[in-house]
Structure 1
Amino acid sequence: MLRVNHTTRSSQNNTTTLRTKFYNHMVVNMIHLKYHVMFVLVFVFLNLSLISVYGRPATFLQDFRVTWSDSHVRQINGGRAIQLVLDQNSGCGFASNKQYLFGRFSMKIKLIPGDSAGTVTAFYMISENFNVRDEFDFEFLGNRSGQPYTMQTNIYINGQGNREQRINLWFDPSQAFHTYSIRWSHQNVVFYVDEVPVRVYKNHEARGIPFPKRQPMGVYSTLWEADDWATRGGLEKIDWSKAPFYAYYSDFDIEGCPVPGPSTCPSNPNNWWEAANYQQLTPLEARTYHWVRATHMIYDYCTDKSRNAVPPPECLAGF
């Protein structure tokens, strides 16, 4: 049977218009819903990222505290830079409020000018339990006027240190700020000076060689008197007539996993410092690393036969 629709053309047009409006309304709502969901997902992702990886502190006031001799730590430019003072009364120091397990940690430092013999300016990371501590050290050993600054690095693992290496810097670190960085992943620890790698410690646990990966560490800086060993093995003593001595720090840059914090952060393979391209030096980095060792290294525990008749196992494993 043929059924005839008696709807008039006008009614049909109205119905079509209503359907079109309804359809358009639904499409617009679906688009809005799509972008709302995308916004929420992006917002959640960004916040999870911020929670997982602590990014770049802005000022000394927000992210650090004085640990020693408050009167000798002076804030400059609203806490964006710090002046450390050493005189006959005291040295001084400061530390991060948080501890971290893996990441990248750097500061710009301007060292004591002129006659700084017997002084030590340091930037280092250290865990809490001193007797079994893990520690990464930058130590800048003062000099007599006209002599090069010596930078010493050291690594402690489970309380065992004696891994000193020393280089004479290829510039005058007292004339301008230079960047000193530590990049720490599950696979290696790399020390940088102005993005030039100066030390590499690889993870060779498979060969029974210890590697620091279980103890979170704080970030510390200090200025103190150590004229019993710092300059020429203690032969050069500090000249207090040149005091006070000043060292400057700025651009406190931390990007790492805070502890306490999300337990998944330290083991997250998506942290940028765990990426494959950071697990070994680039060809350019390798060339500059070998240049530093060949032309500026003045001491290496690996080759000191008076201390180690047989080189320690990490020295034989390679970088």
Structure 2
Amino acid sequence: MGSRRRPWVSALLALAAIELCCVHGASAAASFGDNFEITGAEDHVKTSADGQTWYLYLDQKTGVGFQTKQRYLFGWFSMKLKLVGNDSAGIVTAYYMCSDTDAAPQRDELDFEFLGNRTGQPYIIQTNVYHSGVGGREMRHSLWFDPTADFHTYSILWNAKHIVFFVDKVPIRVYPNDAGKPSNSFFPIAKPMYVFSSIWNADDWATRGGLEKTDWNKGPFVSSYRDFAADSCAWPTDSGAPPACAAATGDSWWDQPPAWALDEGQREDSAWVGRNLVIYDYCGDRERFPAPPEECALRTTAS
């Protein structure tokens, strides 16, 4: 798998075009201000001259983040990131979807979290799912490349059948819903979400369980972003009726049969990831979950 980057097949080959053109209110060619608003200290965000690359800065004073102006329910969401280089112990770069702020008690959330490390040691990528304010569905993976050397693409496919976390089109995690009956009651399906990113200090837990602390002498720490794309069901910004696409009727490519399951090549890649890159899987943690959560059983029949 390491040298193979299988693209989507059939209808999903359109992804390459999606990430280069305007799609449902988000464009890979749009500036930061077109799609996002800053959350936090504005002087800790910088952009390239053409507005296409965005930089978030963390120092001992504060971190910063941004969020989309638009909410979405189901679709394909993609961003290219280059992570903090060199000594990044204690630093977390988060790229995620959330139905409200992180503090909202009943929020739904889909997370990519990149856990920094000491110089020369690999990043760990953590994914998580929240439903109605409850999380605890963490998986951790190592990566097959240096995420600080160049930009790589991190994407989420979200439909009523499953949630898939991708790295450079490789599915590293599938979170199933109705792989059979009964369906997964711990599945975000009703609340539209914003797309967020942030950089922050988490040295109380992020690196070796909090043993490695942030070295502020190495700051400021910078994460870089470009080419955001969302082909999705855009939710009205006012309080009007839900859009027709919220009914998940199958009119969009991301809610048609090719997107309801991994294709053969993706299954091979996913299996390779499972054999070689998984560091932690909550489904196997009997200390936390003596009885595995219900969705863990769905994996046996999911794509």
Shorter-chain TM-score: which interval? 0.7 to 0.9
CA contact (8 A) 2:164 2:175 kept: yes
| Counterparts of 1:266 and 1:161, CA distance in 2 | 24
Are 2:161 and 1:187 equivalent residues in the alignment? yes
RMSD of Structure 2 on Structure 1 (CA): 1.8
| Counterparts of 1:198 and 1:265, CA distance in 2 | 27
Q: Deviations along 1:223-276, whole A, 9 cap, x unmatched?
A: 000000000110100111101111100001111111117621222411110111
1:148 is aligned to: 122
CA contact (8 A) 2:245 2:251 kept: no
2:261 is aligned to: 280
Letter in 2 for 1:56: S
CA contact (8 A) 2:67 2:197 kept: yes
2:13 is aligned to: none
Q: CA deviation at 1:69?
A: 1.0
Q: SS at 1:248's partner residue?
A: strand
2:6 is aligned to: none
Are 2:41 and 1:65 equivalent residues in the alignment? no
| Counterparts of 1:113 and 1:128, CA distance in 2 | 30
Say if 1:67 and 1:122 are closer, same or farther in 2 by CA, change over 3 A: same
Say if 1:294 and 1:265 are closer, same or farther in 2 by CA, change over 3 A: same
More helix by share: 1
Q: CA deviation at 1:77?
A: 3.4
| Counterparts of 2:38 and 2:163, CA distance in 1 | 27
| Counterparts of 1:148 and 1:254, CA distance in 2 | 29
Letter in 1 for 2:140: R
Q: SS at 1:228's partner residue?
A: coil
Letter in 1 for 2:205: W
Are 2:89 and 1:117 equivalent residues in the alignment? yes
Q: CA deviation at 1:121?
A: 0.4
Q: SS at 2:222's partner residue?
A: strand
| Counterparts of 2:134 and 2:183, CA distance in 1 | 15
| Counterparts of 2:245 and 2:67, CA distance in 1 | 22
| Counterparts of 2:280 and 2:291, CA distance in 1 | 16
2:223 is aligned to: 247
- Among residues 239, 246, 254, which one is paired with 1:266 in the alignment? 246
CA contact (8 A) 2:177 2:183 kept: no
From the CA coordinates, give the structure whose radius of gyration is larger. Answer: 1
Q: SS at 2:33's partner residue?
A: helix
Say if 1:146 and 1:55 are closer, same or farther in 2 by CA, change over 3 A: closer
2:9 is aligned to: none
Aligned structure 1 segments of 4 or more residues deviating by more than 4 angstroms = none
Q: SS at 2:244's partner residue?
A: coil
Are 2:175 and 1:201 equivalent residues in the alignment? yes
CA contact (8 A) 2:88 2:117 kept: yes
| Counterparts of 1:206 and 1:111, CA distance in 2 | 40
| Counterparts of 2:26 and 2:195, CA distance in 1 | 14
Q: Deviations along 1:154-175, whole A, 9 cap, x unmatched?
A: 0001111000000011110000
Judge which range, 129-138 or 108-117, deviates more.
Answer: 129-138
| Counterparts of 2:251 and 2:243, CA distance in 1 | 14
CA contact (8 A) 1:154 1:165 kept: yes
Q: SS at 1:131's partner residue?
A: coil
Say if 1:223 and 1:143 are closer, same or farther in 2 by CA, change over 3 A: same
| Counterparts of 2:135 and 2:100, CA distance in 1 | 15
Letter in 2 for 1:264: A
Q: SS at 1:229's partner residue?
A: coil
| Counterparts of 2:235 and 2:79, CA distance in 1 | 20
CA contact (8 A) 2:184 2:295 kept: yes
Q: CA deviation at 1:90?
A: 0.6
- Among residues 42, 45, 49, which one is paired with 1:77 in the alignment? 49
Q: Deviations along 1:27-68, whole A, 9 cap, x unmatched?
A: xxxxxxxxxxxxxxxxxxxxxxxxx94453522111101011
Judge which range, 129-138 or 212-221, deviates more.
Answer: 129-138
TM-score, normalization by structure 1: 0.81
Q: CA deviation at 1:108?
A: 0.3
Q: SS at 1:288's partner residue?
A: helix
1:41 is aligned to: none
1:56 is aligned to: 27
Letter in 1 for 2:131: I
Are 2:137 and 1:166 equivalent residues in the alignment? no
Q: CA deviation at 1:206?
A: 4.0
Q: SS at 1:215's partner residue?
A: coil
Among all aligned residue pairs of Structure 1 and Structure 2, give the percentage whose two residues are the same amino acid.
47
Q: CA deviation at 1:208?
A: 5.1
CA contact (8 A) 1:54 1:257 kept: no
1:25 is aligned to: none
Q: SS at 1:207's partner residue?
A: coil
Q: SS at 2:273's partner residue?
A: helix
Aligned residues: 270
2:277 is aligned to: 296
